[in-house]
Each structure stands twice: as C-alpha cells, then as structure tokens.
Amino acid sequence: MTDLLAERQGRVEVLTLNRPDRLNAISGPMLSQLAARLVAADRDPEVRVVVITGAGRGFCAGLDLQDAAGGRAPDGGGPAPGPGEFDLRDAPPTVLHNLDTPTIAALNGGAAGYGMDLALGCDIRIAAESSKMAPAFVRRGVLPESGGTWLLPRLVGYGKAAEIALTGETLSAAECLQLGLVNRVVPDDVLMKETMTLAERIAANAPLAVRATKRMLRMAATEDFDDHVHRVYLQLLPLFQTQDFREGMISFLEKRPPDFQGH
C-alpha cells in the first residue's frame, strides 16, 4: 500500500497521508511521494487547489521516531546525513512553500512535529473539532526543522510563537482557532465536505489570477512596500491580456457566473 494517496476531485487534488496504523508518521517513501505529487500538481493546469489530509484518526504524527531513534535517515536507508550534507531544495516544506497552487490542510486529527509544520505550511487550515496541534520538538530533543520557526511567528507573532515552541504543549482545535493557527473548526463528520466546498470556491476563480495573488502574498513576506507594489504591477500587466480577464469583465456585465479556462 502506498504511503500517499492521490485523488482528483474535479479541479481539486486531494493528497492523503496513508499510514493510519502509525498515525501517518512521516516515512521516507511518503516524503518522496509528497514532494513529487506537489510538484506535479503545481505543473498541471487542471489542478487549481491541493488539499492535504490524513487517513484514519490522525493528520500526521511527525517524523517516524523509530527511524530517528535508530539514527537512520527518514528514508529508512543509511545513516542520517551529517553536517553540511543536507539539501532541502526538494523537501516537502520547501516545495510546499514555493507552490503557486493554493493549498488547504484538512486536519482530521493530531498534527504533531513535522505534521504541524506541514499544516502550517499550507495556505489555509480547516480543523476537525477533535484535532490537535502538538509542537513537541523540544520535548524530543530537537527543534522545528521543517519550517516551523519561520512560519509560526508570522502566524501568531513572536511572543506567542516563542511560548508555543518552547513549552511544546499540545493545543486543542479551539485554542488553535483562537490563536489564528487554523481558519475554522468544524464538526469531525463534515471536515472534508467543508474543506472541499472551500476548495471549489477557490477553484472557480480565474486560476492565473489566483496563482499570481498567492505568489505575491508569499513575496510580500520578504519585501518592503515600495518594492512589493512594483512587483505586483508587473504581475498585473500580463493578466490584462488574458481571456480570463475578458471573461471576468463580460460575465460581470452579463450578470452570470464566469467560466474561467486558465488562459
């Protein structure tokens, strides 16, 4: 059985972490498959939104601690790489951060360690009422190695991020919502329905404009205002030349839903 399931639902690609017996702890094959699937989805013009969720009762329990305790790399192969041997350009957190396709995490259960960072790396998070986030890195003798130290302060501010990361205490779905770590909390039995409804609303919009908007939101994190508005203007000019821009204007005047084709 593959460690990652991929299912196309209309214009939405649903990626399901699939090690339910281990609460979807990250394995080497899962890492490789996830990165490859994210890249493929981002290159596919038919995919307008990516949803990431977990099989069974957990979202992702983090890196597989059995491999880590044995000093093995996450791929289950040889010894863990030494200092200076890391190349994270194709790692899921880096790939996820650089996607132009919108991403939604559907948190069906616990998201711990790497799993929490994976969820935070998505653009939007929808949490089931029973789900939790567990930033347990310091309780395992490590640190948030998969983007958490960059993502967390930008979501909740430095002071709260420091409290969350340095205590390592588990957060309930309600606490995550209060802190702004998730966009909404829904009953467990409607999690995927609510997630897919939101995904389809995004997918119905002009895909080139959606991708450009996400790209600019990402760039804004490291640019000052003047540089950013100039970059945005350069993104806007080619959009004026698209058929989708024309369709957006005509459908508005004709008072009908637009039919965007992505060109």
At 144-157, the pLDDT tens digits run: 888 999 999 999 99
* Confidence band of 247 (pLDDT split at 50, 70, 90): very high
Same-domain status, 135 and 239: no
Task: Kindly state the percentage of the chain with pLDDT values over 70.
Answer: 90
The total of other beta-carbon atoms located within 10 Å of residue 25's CB is 25
Q: What local confidence, expressed as pLDDT, does residue 84 receive?
A: 54
Same-domain status, 72 and 159: yes
Helix axes 148-156, 114-121, angle to 10 degrees: 60
Q: Could you list the residue range(s) of the whole structural domain that residue 95 is in? A: 4-203
Last residue of a domain, one of 203, 227, 242: 203
Q: What local confidence, expressed as pLDDT, does residue 78 receive?
A: 45
3-state secondary structure 196-253: HHHHHHHHCCCHHHHHHHHHHHHHHHHCCHHHHHHHHHHHHHHHCCCHHHHHHHHHHH
Same-domain status, 147 and 232: no
Helix (H) or strand (E) holding 9: strand 4-9
Helix axes 207-219, 243-253, angle to 10 degrees: 110
Assess if residue 171 is contained within a domain: yes
What total number of domains does the chain contain? 2
How far is Cα 64 from Cα 112, in angstroms, rounded to an integer?
Answer: 11
Q: What local confidence, expressed as pLDDT, does residue 117 receive?
A: 96
How far is Cα 76 from Cα 80, in angstroms, rounded to an integer?
Answer: 9
Return the ∠ at Cα 73 (arms to 131 and 171), rounded to 5°. 20
Q: What local confidence, expressed as pLDDT, does residue 85 receive?
A: 53
CB 220 within 8 A of CB 235: no
Question: Residue 185 in 3-state DSSP?
Answer: strand
CB 180 within 8 A of CB 156: yes
pLDDT tops 70 at residue 129: yes
Residue 43 maps to which CATH number? 3.90.226.10
Q: What local confidence, expressed as pLDDT, does residue 86 receive?
A: 56
Per-residue pLDDT of 92-118, as tens digits, reads 899 999 999 999 999 999 999 999 999
Q: What local confidence, expressed as pLDDT, does residue 114 receive?
A: 94
Per-residue pLDDT of 26-79, as tens digits, reads 988 899 999 999 999 999 999 999 999 999 999 999 988 665 555 555 544 444
Same-domain status, 109 and 230: no
Same-domain status, 112 and 238: no
Q: What local confidence, expressed as pLDDT, does residue 89 receive?
A: 73
CB 243 within 8 A of CB 263: yes
Same-domain status, 46 and 147: yes
When mean pLDDT is compared across 68-72, 123-127, 183-187, 204-208, the lowest value belongs to 68-72
Last residue of a domain, one of 166, 182, 203: 203
Residue 239 maps to which CATH number? 1.10.12
User: Average pLDDT, whole number, for the chain?
Assistant: 91
Assess if residue 228 is contained within a domain: yes
Return the ∠ at Cα 34 (arms to 28 and 39), rounded to 5°. 135
Can you tell me the mean pLDDT for 125-141? 94
Can you tell me the mean pLDDT for 161-190? 97
Quote the pTM value.
Answer: 0.91
